[in-house]
Every structure is written in C-alpha cells, then in structure tokens.
Structure 1
C-alpha cells in the first residue's frame, strides 16, 4: 500500500509540475486610441492607417537626438529608422542614411510614396550626398530624428525639407 501511495504522490507531483509549465492563451483585443494618436501626430489617424507604425512612432516622439544613437535615450535618423523597421518588420537596415538608400531600398517617385516608405535628404554641405532619412506616414508627413528637436513629425512641403529633398525609396523585404 505504501508503495502505491509513493507512486501516486510522484505521479501527482509530475503532473502538477507539467501543468504549471503549460501556457494559457490569453486573448486580449488591442484597440488603438485613434484620437490620442491623432493628437500626438497632429494628423487624422483612423482604422485604415497602418496603426503599428503610429503606435511605435509615438513611443519615440520627443526622444533626443544623439549622433550614433539607437535607443530611446538618444537616437540619430538612421538609428531611429533601423529600430522601427527591426521592431515592425524584423528587417535589419544599414546604419547610415546613404547605405540604407544604396543597399536596402529601391528608389521610387515622390508621387508613389506610401506609408512606411523612406524619405531621404541632403542636409549637409555636400548637396549631392544623402545624409538624412525619415519614415513616410501619409499626406506629406514623415517621422524622423531631427538634430535640433529629436524625434518629430515634419512635412515634406516645409521649406527646409523641400530644399533638402533627394529621393524616396521602398525597403526591399
């Protein structure tokens, strides 16, 4: 009898351990707050937009600029774009605007811009060299890491960005 009790105890313990290691599927519906996102971005965001981009971007808004940075403590333009693409699409991009354009993208016309495409600028002394990149949102708006303001939303028609515009491109996935 003692032997059976020991076996029963061991089997019960094994079952208990195995059951405690099981995972339960938790279903939770994530409902984006369109009003809050719209307010943060200063543009109307609705269910037809690619919400993961707006939610991820919102987490970065206001992050200070830091040359070579790639975290929320400080980020530069290519670090920001790379981090967002890694998070949303599991794609590893190069770490300079010029290399992202040359190696990771296919150029497209400005009129063909879609959400998540990249926009490139030449903001330095050399007007032919791409040195700044942002992620296109919609309606001319893009999100990027500005050297003076950190991660912000800007518009392609702002005089500064209009004068520094180089090209648009779509990431090869």
Structure 2
C-alpha cells in the first residue's frame, strides 16, 4: 500500500511539475511567446524560431509584445533602468560576461530565480541564476518595461492588482 501511495504521489508531483515548468508568469503574453521558443536551436545572429542567439532571442520575445530592442546584448544593456537581483520581476533582462570582455550574454528573467535565454550549447532554455556558471558571470539586470507594459504582458490577469 505504501508503495502505491508513494508511486501515486510521485506521479502527481511529476504532472504538476511538468504543467508549471514553462515559466513563472502563468499565462501571460510573454510566457506564451517564450514557451513557443523553448527548444529552438542556437544560431549565431539568429532572430527566429529556426534559430536564435541570445540577443536575437530577447529581441524576438520583446518584439512579439510590442517593444523594440537592438540585436546586441551590450546595446540592450544600455537600455532601461538598472535593478538589483533582489528586485527582479518577470520580463527584466539579465546580463552576463561570458567572454571576459564585458556584457556578452542576455536572458529574460521569468521568476523564481530563473531566466529564459538562448544558450550556445543548449538552445533556448530556462536556467537558474544560482547556477555557478551564471553566478560567476552575472553583470546586472535592466527593467525595460514600464509598469503598464509589465501589467499588460508579463503578468496574468489576477496578478495585475498586486503590481507595485
């Protein structure tokens, strides 16, 4: 009996994990765009679901929600307002120095310490900021979206009243 209960509990936890694995912003517009890109391959200079580089991925996602970004992580880093890691919210851009020469990688924060990005080795994926690779290369974060844009595209409708 205990084995059956344990198996059932494990099955339910796997199902609930799979359902919630997309990203932290439930059914937001941004979440839907990101979900459609997960698994796309990495292509240097790529800006479509047939292949992305990191800034091409962020450019694509933000374009789909009506925000223009340049196609270069260093240029994207020059935009928006700096935010501390403790103040990150879904839709903020997170930046990394992966080549020792300044900002060279960008992703989109999705909540719960995770970010979506086009990894040169894994394609479009979700990673955690706490992974040692990213901790050691983290440069900072920028808020690109206004409060209104954030409420419109990066939260589900029930969260809109809670945004500050």
TM-score band by shorter chain is 0.7 to 0.9
From 71, 74, 77, the equivalent of 1:98 is: 74
CA-based RMSD of the aligned residues comes to: 2.3
From 29, 39, 51, the equivalent of 2:18 is: 39
Unaligned runs of 5+ in 1: 1-34
- Structure with higher RCO (Cα < 8 A, 6+ apart): 2
Q: TM-score, normalised by structure 2?
A: 0.74
Post-superposition CA distance 1:92-148 (Å, at most 9, x none): 10111100111x22111111100100100000032xx00100000001010000000
**Matched length:** 133
2:83 is equivalent to residue 108 of structure 1: yes
Q: Structure 2 matches for 1:119-138, cutoff 5 A?
A: 119-126=94-101, 129-138=102-111
Map of 1:78 onto structure 2? 55
Runs of 4+ deviating beyond 3 Å: 35-38
Unaligned runs of 5+ in 2: 1-13, 147-164
Structure ID, larger Rg: 1
Post-superposition CA distance 1:4-31 (Å, at most 9, x none): xxxxxxxxxxxxxxxxxxxxxxxxxxxx
Question: Using the alignment, how far apart are the partners of 2:28 and 2:21 within structure 1?
Answer: 15
Q: TM-score, normalised by structure 1?
A: 0.70
Map of 1:15 onto structure 2? none
8 Å CA contact 1:41–1:153 kept in 2: the answer is: no
